[in-house]
Amino acid sequence: MFAFIARRLGLLIPTFFGVTLLTFALIRMIPGDPVEVMMGERRVDPEMHAQAMERLGLNKPLYAQYFDYIGKLAQGDLGESLRTRTSVWDEFTTLFPATLELSLAALLFAGTLGLIAGVIAALKRGSLFDHGVMGISLAGYSMPIFWWGLLLIMFFSVWLGWTPVSGRIDLLYDIPPVTGFMLIDTLLSDEEGAFVDALRHLILPAIVLGTIPLAVIARMTRSAMLEVLREDYVRTARAKGLSPARVVFVHGLRNALIPVLTVFGLQVGALLAGAVLTETIFSWPGIGKWLIESIGARDYPVVQNGILLIACLVILVNFVVDILYGLANPRIRHQR
Amino acid sequence: MTTQATLDPSLFYPSPLKEFWQAFAHNKGAVAGLAFMILLVICALFAPWIAPHDPSEQYREFLLTPPAWLEGGQLQFLLGTDEVGRDLLSRLIHGARLSLLIGLASVLMSLIPGILLGLVAGFFPRLLGPSIMRLMDIMLALPSLLLAVAIVAILGPGLINTIFAIAIVSLPSYVRLTRAAVMGELNRDYVTAARLAGASLPRLMFITVLPNCMAPLIVQATLSFSSAILDAAALGFLGLGVQPPTPEWGTMLASARDYIERAWWVVSLPGLTILLSVLAINLMGDGLRDALDPKLKNAQ
Assess B258–A contact: CB distance below 8 Å, yes or no: no
- Cα B94 to Cα B46: distance, rounded to the nearest angstrom: 9
| Region B220-224 average pLDDT | 88
Looking at the predicted structure, is the pLDDT value of residue A223 above 70?
yes
| pLDDT score of A336 | 47
Least CA distance to B147: which residue of chain A?
Answer: A307
Among the ranges given (A39-53, A302-316, B130-144), the one the predictor scored with the smallest mean pLDDT: A39-53
- Give the closest of A142, A273, A307 to B282, CB-based: A142
- Cα A271 to Cα A269: distance, rounded to the nearest angstrom: 5
| Region A180-199 average pLDDT | 80
| pLDDT score of A62 | 79
**What's the mean per-residue pLDDT of chain A?**
83
Assess B191–A contact: CB distance below 8 Å, yes or no: no
- Give the closest of A18, A138, A303 to B153, CB-based: A303
> Roughly what angle, to the nearest 10 degrees, separates helices B144-155 and B214-237?
60
Looking at the predicted structure, is the pLDDT value of residue B201 above 80?
yes
Among the ranges given (A322-336, B67-81, B218-232), the one the predictor scored with the smallest mean pLDDT: A322-336
Assess B298–A contact: CB distance below 8 Å, yes or no: no
**Residue-wise pLDDT tens digits, A162-179:** 888 778 887 777 777 777
> How close A99 comes to chain B (CA, Å)?
15
* Greatest Cα-to-Cα distance within chain A, rounded to the nearest angstrom: 86
> How close B192 comes to chain A (CA, Å)?
25
Provide, as residue numbers in chain B, all residues whose Cβ is less than 8 Å from the Cβ of A296: 239
Substitution target from A295, A305, A317 for chain B, most B beta carbons within 10 A: A295
**Residue-wise pLDDT tens digits, A81-98:** 877 888 889 889 889 999
> How close B135 comes to chain A (CA, Å)?
7
DSSP annotation of B85: -
Least CA distance to A157: which residue of chain B?
Answer: B261
Assess B62–A contact: CB distance below 8 Å, yes or no: no
> How close B282 comes to chain A (CA, Å)?
7
Provide, as residue numbers in chain A, all residues whose Cβ is less than 8 Å from the Cβ of B267: 147, 150-151, 154
Least CA distance to A289: which residue of chain B?
Answer: B238
Assess B141–A contact: CB distance below 8 Å, yes or no: yes
CB B82 within 8 A of CB B88: yes
- Cα B179 to Cα B114: distance, rounded to the nearest angstrom: 9
**What's the mean per-residue pLDDT of chain B?**
84
Indicate yes or no: CB of B141 within 8 angstroms of CB of A146.
Answer: no
Looking at the predicted structure, is the pLDDT value of residue B300 above 60?
no
Indicate yes or no: CB of A19 within 8 angstroms of CB of B141.
Answer: yes
- Cα B139 to Cα A76: distance, rounded to the nearest angstrom: 23
The phi, psi pair for A87, rounded to 5°, reads -75, 145
Long-range Cβ pairs for the range A82-90 (8 Å, 24+)? A82/A38, A82/A297, A82/A298, A82/A299, A82/A300, A82/A301, A82/A302, A83/A294, A83/A297, A83/A299, A83/A302, A88/A301, A88/A302, A88/A305, A88/A306, A88/A309, A89/A305
Secondary structure (3-state) at A291: helix
Rounded to 10 degrees, the C-alpha dihedral B284/A152/A271/A333 comes to -60
Looking at the predicted structure, is the pLDDT value of residue B145 above 90?
no
**Residue-wise pLDDT tens digits, A106-137:** 999 998 999 999 999 998 888 899 999 988 99
> How close B14 comes to chain A (CA, Å)?
30
Indicate yes or no: CB of B143 within 8 angstroms of CB of A22.
Answer: no
pLDDT band at A263 (very low <50, low <70, confident <90, very high): confident
Substitution target from A150, A154, A304, A318 for chain B, most B beta carbons within 10 A: A150
**Residue-wise pLDDT tens digits, B226-268:** 989 999 999 998 888 888 888 889 888 888 888 888 888 888 8
Indicate yes or no: CB of B271 within 8 angstroms of CB of A150.
Answer: yes
> How close A16 comes to chain B (CA, Å)?
8
Assess B19–A contact: CB distance below 8 Å, yes or no: no
Provide, as residue numbers in chain B, all residues whose Cβ is less than 8 Å from the Cβ of A276: 145-146, 149, 238
C-alpha distances in Å from residue B199, one per residue of A69, A111, A314, B2, B122: 48, 53, 44, 45, 17
- Cα A159 to Cα A324: distance, rounded to the nearest angstrom: 45
The per-residue b/e assignment along B199-217, b for 16 or more CB within 10 angstroms, e otherwise, is: eeeeebbeebbbeebebbb
Indicate yes or no: CB of A142 within 8 angstroms of CB of B141.
Answer: no
DSSP secondary structure letters along B200-220: -HHHIIIIIIGGGGHHHHHHH
Substitution target from B144, B149, B296 for chain A, most A beta carbons within 10 A: B149
Indicate yes or no: CB of A15 within 8 angstroms of CB of B279.
Answer: no
Q: State the alpha helices, DSSP H only, in A29-87.
A: 34-39, 46-56, 62-74
Looking at the predicted structure, is the pLDDT value of residue A254 above 90?
no
Provide, as residue numbers in chain A, all residues whose Cβ is less than 8 Å from the Cβ of B33: none
Indicate yes or no: CB of B146 within 8 angstroms of CB of A151.
Answer: no
- Give the closest of A27, A223, A273 to B145, CB-based: A273
Indicate yes or no: CB of A311 within 8 angstroms of CB of B267.
Answer: no
- Cα A117 to Cα A190: distance, rounded to the nearest angstrom: 38
Provide, as residue numbers in chain A, all residues whose Cβ is less than 8 Å from the Cβ of B226: 142
| pLDDT score of A19 | 85
Task: Tell whether ipTM is more than 0.85.
Answer: no
Provide, as residue numbers in chain A, all residues whose Cβ is less than 8 Å from the Cβ of B250: 144, 146
- Record the pTM: 0.85
pLDDT band at A160 (very low <50, low <70, confident <90, very high): confident
> How close B212 comes to chain A (CA, Å)?
27
- Give the closest of A21, A147, A269 to B271, CB-based: A147
Q: How many CB atoms lie within 10 A of CB B38?
A: 11
pLDDT band at B298 (very low <50, low <70, confident <90, very high): very low
pLDDT band at A9 (very low <50, low <70, confident <90, very high): confident
The phi, psi pair for A319, rounded to 5°, reads -60, -50
- Give the closest of B150, B260, B268 to A307, CB-based: B150
pLDDT band at A246 (very low <50, low <70, confident <90, very high): confident
